[in-house]
Structure 1
Amino acid sequence: MVVFQSPLASSPPTSSSTPASPSRRCDPSLNSYRQYRAPVENGSSLIEPPLSDAADLLGSNVAKSAEQGPFWDSLRTRARASLIEDAIRYTSAYRDTSWVDVESIGPIVMAGHQPSLFHPGVWFKNFALDDIARRVGGIGINLVVDNDVASGSSIRVPSVRPHGATGAAQPHYEVVSYDEAGGGVPYEQTTVRRRDLFDHFDEAVAEAVCGVVDDPSVTRLWRHALSAIDRCGVAGCALAQARHGLEGELGLRTLELPLGVVCRTSAYAEFVLAILTELPRFHGCYNDSADRYRSAHGIRSSAHPVPNLAEQDGWFEAPLWIYGNDSPDRKAAWVKMSDDHLVISDRVAEGPRELRIDVRHPKLAAEQLSNLVSPNFKLRPRALVTTMYARMVLSDLFLHGIGGGKYDQLGDQICAEFFQVEPLQFMVISATIQLPGLVKVDHDKRIRSLRRQLRDLVFQPERFADRVDLDENLLARKAELIAMVATPKSGDLLASKMPAPKKQWHDEIATINAELSKQLDQLRGQLRSELAESERAHAAQRLMASREHPFCVFPIDYLQTTYAKLLGQD
């Protein structure tokens, strides 16, 4: 295996030096995984650890950070100075930031998510971010993860408008688009092509959900979106700024910053180089940890939760993406050493994009990397490295959703093994919130009953003799046949009464059942119709009761009230 000589690890590992390259496994306790699950009941939340523990958790993280040595101290100081300055400048472009006391920032509480129209359980995390930051006397900053690939430019909303060939008003999903782009590129590359769709998106959503929700929050949200799209022209940016602008109206005091801005700093470049200059060792930590995670969870797919990093012809795949304005499709970043230079490339056949970084002087190398990264060469972290940087460098306490909380336990293993430090703890926050006014009916019980009755029409048609006139002779003969195998008190079968051979008995029973069942055709049709209607009603109720509807279709007052209750603010 090729060994990279890290300029950031040139001295033996001590408590005050940059991480070096010992080959121990991470703490075995990190191999036990917490199972986070979405709450089931409407209006319930998952907050682990509880809100009352937030201050102690943050204090514990601060104490751990202080013990990790000058490399981390220096990196955090510079990264956070840039973070605060950039977040204030970015946020002030579209909402008030005069409440920020730059002379007394306090601890940083951070959350993050893609700039999409997510469900209310995800949005709850932003309200918790504001609440926790106030509890600990700090500042809340939301990281807009704009390097993830956009899934599309539309949302599915619940509707009861007539649809289909019959024009029925059965609840269903309708797709409402704010652009014609089909996704497939990072959010920060999703320029809006159809302003006519974007400009009237709120009206289209309100019309689609009419009869389900009469006052969706999209109306207030989209006023901010229309202002934002004129500023940036990028859908992801506009959606994030619209949501954050609405949060400002609702009294939340938080800052925001896109990950793309964070990635322009020299502190981020130095963190990336700490990995790239020891990439073969990082490979071992990353791949071994992913293998252990899959083994512990019984996962057979090599791509879940993340694929292992590859090695080809002296090139090592890095946990980074490369893309740019001229070529917005994400490509894997590959790295190799050439003399004293680190070569970073996407290795595309038609002409690779490459950077050469002189790594003999670490500080200069970080500055060189941050200066060479450009709109056409964006070097962005993959998910586990994103949260690793956010948790270990940018913040004192990070708030995850359920998915992030599950997968970042893998990130903890990688971090512990590679950097030889104890990962900082995080909180997991989510909620289940359903549309208002839903009345639940136990359709499952009715469906089970109807299915059992349809089965009895075939195998026990005599049960319906009180509902349909059945052939009395057939009923009597079946009763006689059943009596032949009746179990007496002694428990012995009256085998002597059983006709021989036994098959003859079964065949006669089957013939009688078939004849009686034919006489129940009308009832069968009725029950099938009732079953189909019950299944449609059940599907409609499940659709309406989903926790996955976009937050913008909910009434804003309803969400605010629910969030306040969950945070103990009411």
Structure 2
Amino acid sequence: MAMKNITYKVPENDKEVFVDPAIDRIPDLVHENRQKIHNYKFEMNGIPFQILRDKTREEVLRMAANYTVGIQSLLQKSVSGPCLYVRNSSQKDASWYRAQDKLAMRGLDLDYEAIKSIPIIQTGHEPILYYPGVWIKNHLTQYLAGKLGGVGVNMIVDNDTCNMGFIYVPMLSEKQATIQKVSFVKEKSHMAYEEIVFDGPETILKFKEEVLNLLKKNLFDEKIKTTVESMQSAFETFINRILEWYQKGCVDMVGLLTAARCALEVDFCRGNLEVPVSWMCDVDGFYHFLLHVFYEAEWFAKIYNGKLAEYRSIHKVRSKVNPLPDLKITANLVELPFWIWKAGGQRGKCYMMREGELIKVTNGVDVVVTLKKSDGTKNNIARLKALKEGQMKIRPRAITTTLFSRLFFSDVFIHGIGGAKYDTITDEIMKEFFGIDPPTFVTISTTLFLPLDTFGLDIRILQVLQHELKDMSYNPERYASKETQNDTEFVKRVKEKEKLLAMMSIMSKEEKRCYFNQIKELNKLNLAKIDTELQRKRKKIDTVRGKLAHNEVIQFREYPVCIYPTKALRDYFLHVFSGG
């Protein structure tokens, strides 16, 4: 079967939702996925897949529960309460054992057998300042978990670089409406989220000041003052919480932004479990997945590049780096879709070299670890785990992140539109590399505009006005005032133009050019006579342009939820699935 040609379209209208498949179809899809996954019979490193999956589900759920307990301890209003938040999975303490209480509150038992039957609904995204089209994935995850008696898990993609560490802010100024971009950690945008730690509150305070100053500039208009003040209040509450948690001891960007989002979600639902990719990379299942890909590196890379080529062909993409760059394959070096770096440093690409029976994993400069297949799985996984002692990290890239999650952990994965397009590639890799029919994923997105009024016009009005302005240069007589139409010289030039136009129909090409130049001069003279009408038309075009720019600013869909008035969020998200 050929790769899917997904042509999903981002919702354009306010409160419009795109979801595929339909909401009421998803519970059946989850059941179908569970049956499909249950029938996978392949082995990985000599271990049946089902055993690895069951163990991975248990380990990741426990990690997610542990991490969520830490986040929730930040949200406690009591200043004297214990802070159970830890940044790294290797920092586990007594809070790890409190994790069972987290799931027990939901009527879920963490024993090994029960975890096999718990429907796990998963989504994931970078720990950025979510906008509504992204945030709705978390709401659907929670809704389905409740409906299916399962558990929702949000995967924090903290292994991505922080090039999305900014927010958009509307500027509805008197001159021209614009959208401003404010960076949170501009100087660290090249680093993975999991590496970003604040040495003091100055960065957070500067970010707060910049955003609030931009919002204040919208207060000139009394009609929108109340809404803008609600936006300011929402953002101040959001950022003040972050400052409070920083004082509690949470100093990393991932923890602070995750806690801030979870605090918002408390008002909407019970909340999903949270787990960073960096934590998931510590479970045995991930090490088995990693080792299996290392063993089959050449084959995996060829399949990966082949599926990218197929995607480009279907979607008519010419660039060799879109949607993702090909993996480099040479005589003795194979690039693999993982990142590798030392704690505190920048991400580097991961390569594998074969030298006889040795498998050398390298960042392109240094050999990070050497594996030997004849030494057995247990010893090689021990070598991979030992990398942590030297603070070396191996993390999945985009496709391997969702491949691992969908195959080893969840029963259904919820994507946004962009992620869904890329995961059609993941589907094809799973089919060929593992020889399976991959579990189906869900796609959802929405658009929620800021609760501000727009002008009742669209681009077509501007297009008509621009056409008329252009026509005024060629046919000024059509736009002349009554007074001008009675001007003797003006009327004389109009009649001369009509006479020339009539004669042009029977003239040669060279004669037509001569007549055309005469008509051009007549139009130029008559155009001067309608200057008032010309200026009025240009002013009207400028006004319409300004109103359209105002509409575009208000109808921009990527403002972060932290600047939306709380009431606007509640009115929408509390009822978004009530009909489903």
TM-score by length of 2: 0.84
2:185 pairs with 1:184: no
Matched-pair contact (CA < 8 Å) for 2:417–2:443: yes
SS at match of 1:566: coil
Q: Which ranges of structure 2 fall in alignment gaps of 5 or more residues?
A: 74-101, 217-224
1:232-381 alignment to 2 at 5 Å?
232-326=250-344, 328-348=345-365, 352-360=366-374, 361-374=376-389, 376-381=391-396
Retained in 2: the 8 A contact 1:341–1:359? yes
For residues 368-426 of structure 1, the C-alpha deviation after alignment (integer angstroms, 9 at most, x for no partner) is 31232357311000100000001111100100011000010011111111111111100
Counting matched residue pairs gives 526
Secondary structure of the residue aligned to 2:394 is: strand
Instruction: Name the counterpart of 1:544.
Output: 554
The alpha-carbon deviation at position 206 of structure 1 amounts to 4.1
Partners in 2 of 1:244 and 1:500 — Cα distance? 75
**Is the Cα–Cα contact under 8 Å of residues 120 and 152 in structure 2 kept in the other structure?**
yes
Provide Cα deviations, 1:287-326, integer angstroms capped at 9, x if missing partner.
1111111111111100011111112350111111011224
Quick check: 1:119 aligned with 2:168? no
Write out aligned runs for 1:100-179 (5 A): 100=106, 101-103=108-110, 106-151=118-163, 153-160=165-172, 168=174, 170-179=176-185
What is the CA-CA distance between 1:435 and the residue it aligns to? 0.4
Secondary structure, counterpart of 2:450 in structure 1: coil
Partner of 1:366: helix, strand, or coil? helix
**8 Å CA contact retained: 2:452, 2:554:** no
Structure with the larger helix share: 2
| 1:367/1:32 CA distance change after superposition, 3 Å | same
Q: Is residue 264–residue 373 contact of structure 1 (8 Å, CA) maintained in 2?
A: no
After superposition, the C-alpha distances for 1:50-82 in whole angstroms (9 at most, x for unaligned) are: 110111111111111111126220111111111
Contact 1:153–1:181, Cα closer than 8 Å, also in 2: no
Is this contact kept in 1: 2:169–2:180, CA < 8 A?
Answer: yes
Rate the CA distance shift 1:33–1:48 in 2: closer, same or farther, 3 A. Answer: same
1:482 aligned to 492, 495, 498, which one? 498
Q: Deviations over 1:483-534 (max 9, x none)?
A: 6766xxxxxx996899994445433322211110122234323322332232
The separation in 1 between residues aligned to 2:208 and 2:260, in whole angstroms, is: 12
Q: Which moved further from structure 2: 37-46 or 238-247? A: 238-247
Please give the TM-score of this superposition, normalised by the length of structure 1: 0.86
Amino acid paired to 1:282: F
Aligned to 1:17: none
Contact 1:114 1:145 in 2 (8 A): yes
Task: Measure, in 1, the Cα distance between the counterparts of 2:26 and 2:370.
Answer: 43
Out of 288-297 and 507-516, give the one that drifted further: 507-516
Structure 2 residue aligned with 1:55? 27
Q: Distance in 1 between matches of 2:373 and 2:505?
A: 92
Greater displacement, 353-362 / 540-549: 353-362
Distance of 1:233 and 1:252 partners within structure 2: 25
Q: Output the CA distance in 2 between the equivalents of 1:518 and 1:458.
A: 10
* SS of residue in 1 equivalent to 2:436: coil
Instruction: Determine the structure 2 residue equivalent to 1:558.
Output: 568
Looking at structure 1, the residues matched to 579 and 105 of structure 2 have their Cα atoms a distance apart, in angstroms, of 21
SS in 2 for 1:535: helix
Matches of 1:469 and 1:562, distance apart in 2: 56
CA distance in 1, matches of 2:33, 2:507: 81
Counterparts in 2 of 1:554 and 1:239: CA distance versus 1, 3 Å: same
Matches of 2:497 and 2:510 in 1, distance apart?
13
After superposition, give the CA deviation of every residue in 1:228-287 in whole Å (9 maximum; x if it has no partner): 434342213311222123213433331000000010122101011111101111122111
Contiguous gaps of at least 5 residues in structure 1: 1-27, 163-167, 487-492
CA separation in 2, counterparts of 1:358 and 1:227? 49
CA contact (8 A) 2:138 2:154 kept: yes
Identity of aligned residues (%): 26
Q: SS of 2:413's equivalent?
A: strand
Matches within 5 A, 1:20-59: 28-29=1-2, 31-59=3-31
**CA–CA distance in structure 2, aligned partners of residues 38 and 501 of structure 1:** 54
Instruction: Determine if contact 1:153/1:182 at 8 Å carries over to the other structure.
Output: no
> Matches of 2:547 and 2:199 in 1, distance apart?
39
The answer to whether residue 525 in structure 2 is matched with residue 515 in structure 1 is: yes
- Contact in 2 for aligned 1:484/1:497 (Cα 8 Å): no
Once the 2 structures are TM-superposed, how far is the Cα of residue 558 of structure 1 from its aligned partner? Answer: 1.3
Pair 499,228 (structure 1): closer, same or farther in 2 beyond 3 Å:
closer
Q: 1:116 to 1:38 in 2, by over 3 A?
A: same
